Amino acid sequence: MKINQSNIKKAKKYLNKNYCIGVPTETVYGLAANAYANLAVKRIFSLKQRPKNNPLIVHYLDINSLQKDCLINDDFIKLYKKFSPGPITYILKLKQNSKISKYVTNKKKSLAVRFPKHQIFRNLLRQLNYPLAAPSANISTRLSAVEATDVKEEFGSKIKYILDGGKSSIGLESTIISLTNKPTILRLGSLSVSRIKKVLGKKIILNLNPKKKITPGQSLLHYSPGIPLRMNVKYPKTNEAFLLIKKRKISLDNYFYLSKKNNLNEAAKNLYSSLRKIKKKGYKSISVERIKNIGIGQSINDKLKRASKFKISNQIKNLNFK
């Protein structure tokens, strides 16, 4: 996609005034604001209706800009060289004199950092003298946004501006690894655990559903299309949307394809947009064909499993009798 400098200028103008804007990344769209400014960061939490104790990811252009705020270590350097910019988020120790707003981390001593690859986002970061805090651009617990129109759907006129960078090329959130102690994966994402392990050359701990939640994204009710979802389904019920990964001989109105060739990368890219489409068409439930649990397929299944925790009782709780 071509970079339109007048759009970047507009984005910069809003960010400098401490407003939040929508930004494209290769994983999902972000809701971005100045990570050094308390007011800007508070606005992110209020727009997203996000609990204050759920810290944000801060996006940097490169390691030089990061070093003002965080302590780095050997594991970080190995992974950074291989995978950044790209779909991996590192949890590092915050420096005592860092300028990061205390609202970003909820006063924690660690910070989640990422170096996005999307050229529009990188171009924007080059023109700012602060990093951008940016959680996924969706209301808390709902589906992430992979296109500018999805962001518009989530926040409407409540946000000032959305930088349109086309559809996110990967379509799933970044993989999160904590490096403050022994390397620990906290969230599965677009980069597979085996690739990370190969580069580090040592054991990595997987801590995706701990009793004590370290990452609120680990909470089981997450990434929800807002209607019940079943996994590993062979035959859908009548009136149920059926999400498929392999082409069927017959085509029916309720069939939706993540991929027609059992291609897991394509499926990841189409996951959130397919769920959004199904919801918009008014289906009351979704069934999903079995997806191979390898590589990025493992991350797709993790998201689907969390989405499947949605119960009708949640819908009833959310009803407002006014």
56 binds ligand TXA (CB under 6 A): yes
Closer to ligand TXA by Cβ: residue 105 or 299: 105
Q: Which of Mg ion, ligand TXA, none does residue 214 bind to, with CB < 5 to 8 Å depending on kind?
A: ligand TXA
Instruction: Pick one of 41, 111, 159, 188: the residue that binds ligand TXA (CB under 6 A).
Output: 111
Helix and strand numbers, DSSP H then E, in the chain: 11, 15
Question: Do 192 and 298 touch, CB atoms closer than 8 A?
Answer: yes
27 binds ligand TXA (CB under 6 A): yes
Q: Which of Mg ion, ligand TXA, none does residue 176 bind to, with CB < 5 to 8 Å depending on kind?
A: ligand TXA
Beta-carbon contacts of residue 168 (< 8 Å; ≥ 6 apart): 24, 25, 26, 27, 28, 29, 118, 146, 147, 269
As given in the structure block, the two tokens for residue 135 are 């959680």
Closer to Mg ion by Cβ: residue 140 or 263: 140
Q: Which of ligand TXA, Mg ion, none does residue 22 bind to, with CB < 5 to 8 Å depending on kind?
A: none
Question: Do 11 and 128 touch, CB atoms closer than 8 A?
Answer: no
Positive or negative, the CA dihedral 80, 36, 216, 170 is: negative
Go through the chain and tell me how many residues it has.
322
Closer to ligand TXA by Cβ: residue 105 or 287: 105
Q: Which of Mg ion, ligand TXA, none does residue 30 bind to, with CB < 5 to 8 Å depending on kind?
A: ligand TXA
As given in the structure block, the two tokens for residue 264 are 């897991």
In 179-293 the beta strands, taken as DSSP E runs, fall at 184-187, 205-206, 229-230, 241-244, 255-257, 286-288
User: Closest separation between CB of residue 223 and ligand TXA, Å?
Assistant: 10
108 binds ligand TXA (CB under 6 A): yes
Coil, helix or strand at residue 217: helix
136 binds Mg ion (CB under 5 A): yes
Coil, helix or strand at residue 120: helix
Q: Which of ligand TXA, Mg ion, none does residue 84 bind to, with CB < 5 to 8 Å depending on kind?
A: none
Instruction: Pick one of 22, 24, 55, 165: the residue that binds ligand TXA (CB under 6 A).
Output: 55
57 binds ligand TXA (CB under 6 A): yes
Nearest one of 304, 311, 306 to 258, comparing CA atoms: 304
268 binds ligand TXA (CB under 6 A): no
Q: Which of ligand TXA, Mg ion, none does residue 273 bind to, with CB < 5 to 8 Å depending on kind?
A: none
User: Closest separation between CB of residue 172 and ligand TXA, Å?
Assistant: 8
22 binds ligand TXA (CB under 6 A): no
Nearest one of 147, 167, 164, 136 to 56, comparing CA atoms: 136
Closer to Mg ion by Cβ: residue 9 or 158: 158
54 binds ligand TXA (CB under 6 A): yes
Q: Terminal CA-to-CA distance of the chain, rounded, Å?
A: 46
Instruction: Pick one of 20, 40, 91, 291: the residue that binds ligand TXA (CB under 6 A).
Output: 91
Give the number of other CB atoms < 10 A from CB of residue 270: 21
Please work out, in degrees rounded to the nearest 5, the angle formed at the alpha carbon of residue 224 by the alpha carbons of 106 and 51.
15
User: Closest separation between CB of residue 289 and ligand TXA, Å?
Assistant: 25
Judged by the rule CB under 5 A, the positions of this chain that interact with Mg ion are 136
Judged by the rule CB under 6 A, the positions of this chain that interact with ligand TXA are 25, 27-28, 30, 54-57, 89, 91, 105, 108, 110-112, 114, 134-136, 173-174, 176, 186, 214-217
